Structure 1
């Protein structure tokens, strides 16, 4: 099973947590900010540790976009590591709508809006 970092907008926390629970139920180890960052923790340190130790990043596409400051840093970090030859998977998932950033336009995404169960199954296969 895979170690999965869930990158999402704050507005989509409820849906992101549902996805995290679905992936965890399939046996994956999931990093979700709501589960990993406690009051008093350093946000930067917690996110940096999550990104460093989790080899798969699920980028949750949002009707509000994917360019929130924290979210942008997360997926851009994963993309940079991938382009530098590290074994990092970047898996887009259409969580509440939205489109892929232009630099990721060639990557097939899981469409949770159109078919939740089918998209979770597709993510599970991709996580291998």
Structure 2
């Protein structure tokens, strides 16, 4: 198999029967052209020439079998020295294989070794073949959850973003009211979310001061977005928040309440009223049972309205 990677196996002859022959045979069965002296050196061949010129110099991988016998063998040390030089000069990979509990030689201590005691012979073969052929030993990589692939609209954290965006949609459709994890899961069936992830996102939004929540034995529900957050979200969705702000101010100057202001949805009106009160453009707000806000425009509000 001329195209197969060549592996020179450095070992002590005492280890041949108990390990090396079967090891090399199995490597060859795995597609690695293992070079072992007894298969390559014929009667009358020069040992030095066959080992160093044909074995080590032509090797893509240098495997050194470390045993209680081999670590004291001068011949193995000579081969190892040649392998280290080959690694330095040509980038040949060196793979130590431990078949006994021995101290790894200093020249190899920086390398990961394959241990017969830990892996067994089949495991050592798979480990080395995988290294030589570059196969991926990590478990298969699964598909990331759908929520992580969703393009963010409002917030950088994907689950928080999905929950906040869906909450806004639900309030716009149904009007004000509590939005819980079970309702959000029904709203977001394709994002691989769990109840725990949604509950966590609701708590995260509350901790960031983005939403108001209520807590019960059934879990945590979003009752309302903070006014500034609601208006920021609507602005990102293309609503002319500044224009509505000014129109509502004029409405309060003229009528003293939000009654009859139908330019937008109820939640946006609620948020705008809160902002007008916070900016002291209207006075203290009272709300009737039908949700209508009542307040008188302040002097600053009247002046602002005249300037529009």
Tell me, yes or no, whether TM beats 0.5.
yes
Q: Which has the higher helix share?
A: 2
The alpha-carbon deviation at position 8 of structure 1 amounts to 0.2
Question: How far apart are 1:75 and its partner, in Å?
Answer: 1.4
Instruction: Name the residue aligned to 1:21.
Output: 25
Aligned-partner Cα distance in 1 for 2:5–2:116 = 19
Aligned residue for 2:106? 102
- Provide the rounded CA distance (Å) in 2 between the counterparts of 1:78 and 1:2: 16
- Corresponding residue SS for 1:39: coil
Map residues 37-52 of structure 1 onto 2, 5 A cutoff: 37-48=41-52, 49-52=54-57
Aligned to 2:10: 7
Superposed counterparts of 1:78-89, under 5 Å: 78-84=83-89, 86-89=90-93
Alpha-carbon deviations, 1:42-92, whole Å to 9, x = none?
A: 1011101111111211100112242312211111111122123x1201000
Q: Which has the higher contact order (CA 8 A, sep 6+)?
A: 1
Q: Give the RMSD, CA atoms, in angstroms.
A: 1.4
Determine the C-alpha separation between the residues in 1 that align with 2:70 and 2:36. Answer: 19
Deviation at 1:105, TM superposition (A): 1.0
How many angstroms does 1:106 deviate by?
A: 1.7
Instruction: Supply the distance in 1 between the matched residues of 2:66 and 2:7 (Cα, whole angstroms).
Output: 16
In the comparison of the two structures, how many residue pairs are matched? 127
Question: TM-score if structure 1 supplies the norm length?
Answer: 0.91
Alpha carbons of 1:45 and 1:65: their partners in 2 closer, same or farther (altered >3 Å)? Answer: closer
Richer in strand (by share)? 1
Partners of 1:5 and 1:63 in 2: how far apart?
Answer: 20
Instruction: Note the residue ranges of structure 1 that are not aligned, 5 or more in a row.
Output: none
Cα distance between partner residues in 1 of 2:69 and 2:7? 22
SS at match of 2:72: coil
Show structure 2 runs of 5+ residues with no match. 134-308
Residue in 2 aligned with 1:34? Answer: 38
